[in-house]
């Protein structure tokens, strides 16, 4: 079996699966139980000055009968006394010396407060500190959480307060509630962070009750924005992970990344690893199914590594990074077209409808080889979809909506064009290509829009 153990900025654990800072890591009872079942590490629910939490706290996003496709929460940091949290952290680390015990922390923006907090955290024997710069509700209104993560200067300043007094690794947890994730990541590096983690929850309103008009969750008749998490956020998390992996110290693995955001299966975990994450944090899936999912995560990832011939997890970390590219580097000569397997087709016509009304009109419906119009067809024979390969642009939509696995595939064909990218075209046509700042200046001077 492949070796799943990791070394994350000096923090070792038997596998990459850590519980994220959240309700599942609220107490020694929970973390002990998780470690007994095989979790490699845990990031303690954020500690700081105790707060008063509201009731209710969670809202669920259900789609097509699937529960908790995503979850929205308005729960704040730990509402338990700081002394009790620190005492339990010390107990857990003493019982589990081989597991990663990381303390998530959030305090007021005062250097003395942070220095005192660091000293007290280090006294527990914890392996690392994670700075919570991402909470989008409650704490941001008080100048903490995402209010720090959204301002690079604050991020650097507070990180320096901590790293200047800490003797254990410092991880900065970034907020996704920002236009570009790279500036705060660079700010954390400038503050001498040993690692970063992402993503925290996404600002959201989960829904409105159509009968009572109450927002979800409802707190005494009122509702507001909260943190969005769960399987639905995974594409956003993977995108932001890919972006920060373009920063040189991170690309070179001098600064490791702990990835999170929608991890529920071992396949999700493998995707984060391939894009450069070293450790993996899980929250919503545990809140939904419990600690027992660790068996499937570990077994699935181990079997996949064996299939790939990898002896250790380190062999696959970042393996997909070279494939991540800017749009202007894509080969414009590459072309695929849809192919329909007539034997698998169930004649649902969904591929035709979506292509005709939602895409590029590249699929025809035929009866006895003759093209027909679905709206006017009244015959008893089921129409057969046929791809017009000359018109097909290879958008993939038909294969995505087809309900039959393997019925529609996208196959590469010769486009007849020489390989070229938009970047190369731009370089060849400097006289007709305006830069964005020139476009905006021209628009302003002439009072017109440029499309």
What topology is assigned to 327-413 in CATH? Alpha-Beta Plaits (3.30.70)
Percentage, residues of the chain above pLDDT 70:
95
Please report which helix (H) or strand (E) contains residue 2, including its range: none
Sorting pLDDT into bands at 50, 70 and 90, what band is 217? very high
For residue 339, the model assigns a pLDDT of 97
SS3 state at 425: helix
Nearest to 66 by CA among 243, 230, 221: 230
Sorting pLDDT into bands at 50, 70 and 90, what band is 451? very low
The answer to which of 188-202, 263-277, 409-423 has the lowest mean pLDDT is 409-423
Q: What is the mean pLDDT of residues 277-301?
A: 98
Q: Is 337:414 a contact under the CB 8 Å cutoff?
A: no
**Average model confidence (pLDDT) across the chain:** 93
Alpha helices (H) in 46-151, listed in sequence order: 82-95, 111-122, 146-149
Sorting pLDDT into bands at 50, 70 and 90, what band is 424? confident
Q: Round to whole Å and give the CA distance between 279 and 74.
A: 26
Q: Is the pLDDT score of 22 beyond 90?
A: yes
Q: Is the pLDDT score of 376 beyond 90?
A: no
For residue 50, the model assigns a pLDDT of 80
β-pair type (41-47, 100-105): parallel
For residue 186, the model assigns a pLDDT of 97
For residue 450, the model assigns a pLDDT of 45
Q: Is the pLDDT score of 431 beyond 60?
A: no
β-pair type (370-372, 363-367): antiparallel
Tokens of 42: 């845990």
Sorting pLDDT into bands at 50, 70 and 90, what band is 448? low
Beta bridge mates, 8: 11
Q: Positive or negative CA dihedral for 87, 93, 99, 103? A: positive
* Residue position matching structure tokens 């990381």: 102
For residue 425, the model assigns a pLDDT of 79
Spot the catalytic one: 135, 355, 398, 407: 135
Beta bridge mates, 70: 61
For residue 139, the model assigns a pLDDT of 82
Active site residue 398: no
CA 32 to chain centre: 27
Q: Round to whole Å and give the CA distance between 227 and 248.
A: 30
Give the model confidence (pLDDT) of 75-93 as tens digits: 999 999 999 999 999 999 9
CATH number of 6-321: 3.20.20.70
Burial (CB count within 10 angstroms: exposed 0-12, middle 13-18, buried 19+), residue 406: exposed
Q: Is the pLDDT score of 49 beyond 90?
A: no
Residue predicted with more confidence, 272 or 139: 272
Contacts (Cβ under 8 Å, ≥6 apart) of 38: 15, 294, 295, 298
Please state at what angle helix 152-163 crosses helix 111-122, rounded to 10 degrees.
50
**Domain map of the chain by residue range?**
6-321, 327-413
Nearest to 257 by CA among 243, 86, 359, 59: 243
Q: Is 382:347 a contact under the CB 8 Å cutoff?
A: yes
């Amino acid at each position: 079996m492949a070796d799943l153990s990791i070394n994350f900025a000096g923090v070792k654990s038997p596998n990459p699966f850590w519980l994220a800072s959240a309700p599942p890591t609220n107490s020694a009872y929970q973390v002990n139980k998780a470690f007994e079942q095989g979790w490699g590490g845990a990031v303690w629910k954020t500690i700081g000055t105790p707060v008063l939490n509201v009731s209710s706290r969670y809202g669920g996003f259900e789609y097509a009968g699937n529960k908790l496709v995503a979850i929205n929460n308005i729960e704040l940091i730990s509402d338990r006394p700081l002394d009790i949290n620190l005492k339990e952290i010390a107990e857990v680390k003493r019982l589990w010396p081989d597991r990663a015990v990381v303390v998530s922390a959030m305090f007021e923006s005062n250097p003395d407060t942070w220095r005192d907090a660091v000293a007290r955290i280090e006294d527990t024997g914890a392996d690392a500190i994670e700075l919570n710069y991402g909470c989008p509700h409650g704490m941001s209104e008080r100048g903490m959480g995402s209010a720090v993560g959204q301002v690079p200067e604050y991020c650097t300043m507070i990180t320096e307060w901590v790293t200047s007094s800490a003797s254990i690794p410092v991880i900065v947890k970034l907020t996704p509630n920002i236009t570009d994730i790279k500036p705060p990541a660079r700010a954390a590096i400038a503050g001498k962070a040993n690692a970063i983690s992402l993503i925290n929850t996404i600002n959201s309103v989960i829904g409105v009750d159509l009968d009572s008009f109450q927002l979800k969750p409802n707190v005494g008749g009122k509702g507001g924005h909260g943190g969005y998490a769960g399987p639905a956020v995974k594409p956003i998390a993977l995108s932001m992970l890919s972006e920060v992996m373009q920063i040189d110290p991170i690309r070179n693995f001098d600064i490791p990344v702990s990835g999170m955001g929608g991890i529920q299966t071992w396949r999700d975990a493998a995707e984060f690893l391939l894009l450069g994450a070293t450790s993996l944090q899980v929250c919503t899936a545990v809140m939904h199914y419990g600690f027992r999912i660790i068996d499937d995560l570990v077994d699935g990832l181990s079997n996949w590594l064996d299939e790939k011939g990898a002896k250790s997890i380190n062999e696959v970390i970042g393996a997909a990074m070279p494939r991540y590219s800017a749009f202007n580097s894509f080969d414009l000569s590459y072309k695929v077209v849809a192919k329909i397997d007539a034997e698998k087709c169930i004649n649902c016509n969904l591929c035709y409808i979506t292509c005709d009304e939602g895409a590029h009109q590249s699929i025809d419906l035929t009866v006895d080889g003759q093209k027909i119009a679905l709206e006017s067809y009244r015959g008893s024979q089921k129409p057969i979809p046929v791809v017009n390969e000359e018109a097909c642009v290879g958008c993939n939509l038909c294969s995505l909506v087809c309900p039959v696995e393997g019925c529609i595939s996208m196959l590469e064909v010769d486009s007849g064009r020489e390989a070229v990218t938009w970047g190369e075209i731009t370089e060849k046509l400097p006289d007709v290509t305006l830069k964005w700042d020139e476009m905006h200046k021209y628009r302003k001077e002439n009072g017109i829009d440029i499309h």
